[in-house]
Amino acid sequence: MAHNLLQGKKGIIFGALDENSIAWKTAMRCVEEGAQIVLTNAPIALRMGEINKLAEACNAPVIPADATSMEDLNNLFTKSMEHFGGKIDFVLHSIGMSINVRKGKPYTDLDYDFVHKGMDISAMSLHRVLQTAFKLDAISEWGSVVALTYIAAQRVFPDYSDMADAKSMLESIARSFGFHYGVKNKVRINTISQSPTRTTAGSGVKGFDGFITYAEKMSPLGNASADQCADYTVTLFSDYTRMVTMQNLFHDGGFSFTGVSREVIEAMEK
């Protein structure tokens, strides 16, 4: 059910790869709530062609941008402002990739070239996006930026490998830039720490099936779905959350504050 929460707002959505992507669902929800959007992804991801379906459904242009390229990001923000005829009200950063995780490298045997690449794509890219917008003065007053993260930034999940370090950095950038952008222009910046979700990025983690079931049994409300994450993100883009900034917000059905659940104890007793 739509409530026109984003009526008149304009946003950029990074990271819709296919219809399972959290960014895909968020793009659909933003448009249902009255927003106009621009879609973007790395040129290599766009070659799959899936995003054109979303672009059609959302009546949105697709502007390619590798989130590690300052030239691409400059072009993206400039072209988006031209398209909208003004500034941007919200940005979703839904980008993550670790070559070490993808290649099954354990945390004690990392390839550092892969670490560099993974950090740039998964964490530094948020700084790149924000710095580009900041310099172009591209985000309106009371604008909102959301990046997606995972609880491995606070607690150890061994097979999440170097993505855990990337997420810690991502959350730190959201806090630090949130201060500066808040002072400059009242722009708020938050991270949403989402439950494990079946997507291309999520399923790349070793043992994902067992893990998602464990999280489901540990969470009093169960795992939060991608659709529910999209709903939550809409609230953060809306005017109802104007004083929320520099926060890491758990969207995980209560997983983060649960020590153990009866179901997990019972499974241990068998």
Ligand X SMILES: NC(=O)c1ccc[n+]([C@@H]2O[C@H](COP(=O)([O-])OP(=O)(O)OC[C@H]3O[C@@H](n4cnc5c(N)ncnc54)[C@H](O)[C@@H]3O)[C@@H](O)[C@H]2O)c1
| CB of 72 closer than 8 Å to CB of 114 | no
Cα 111 versus chain centre, distance: 25
In SS3 terms, 242-256 reads as: CCCCCCEEEECCCHH
232 touches ligand X by CB under 6 A: no
Nearer Cβ to ligand X (15/253): 15
Binding mask 180-219 for ligand X (x = CB under 6 A): --------------x-xx-xxxx-----------------
Minimum gap (Å) between residue 58 Cβ and ligand X: 15
Minimum gap (Å) between residue 231 Cβ and ligand X: 15
Long-range Cβ contact pairs of 232-236 (< 8 A, separation 24 or more): 232/192, 233/26, 233/29, 233/30, 233/92, 233/146, 233/192, 234/5, 234/6, 234/26, 234/29, 234/30, 234/33, 235/5, 236/144, 236/146, 236/188, 236/190, 236/192
| 13-32 binders of ligand X (CB under 6 A) | 14-15, 17, 21-23
Minimum gap (Å) between residue 64 Cβ and ligand X: 9
Binding mask 39-78 for ligand X (x = CB under 6 A): --xx--x--------------------xxx----------
Minimum gap (Å) between residue 219 Cβ and ligand X: 13
Minimum gap (Å) between residue 126 Cβ and ligand X: 10
Dist CA 148 CA 161 (whole Å): 17
Dist CA 241 CA 58 (whole Å): 24
148 touches ligand X by CB under 6 A: yes
Q: Find the binder of ligand X among 97, 126, 138, 187 (CB under 6 A).
A: 97
C-alpha angle with apex 249: 247 to 254, nearest 5 degrees? 150
Minimum gap (Å) between residue 152 Cβ and ligand X: 9
Nearer Cβ to ligand X (84/208): 208
Q: Find the binder of ligand X among 121, 139, 187, 234 (CB under 6 A).
A: 121
In whole angstroms, how far apart are CA 151 and each of 29, 154, 166, 171? 24, 6, 12, 10
Residue numbers of the site for ligand X (CB under 6 A)? Answer: 14-15, 17, 21-23, 41-42, 45, 66-68, 94-97, 121, 148-150, 194, 196-197, 199-202
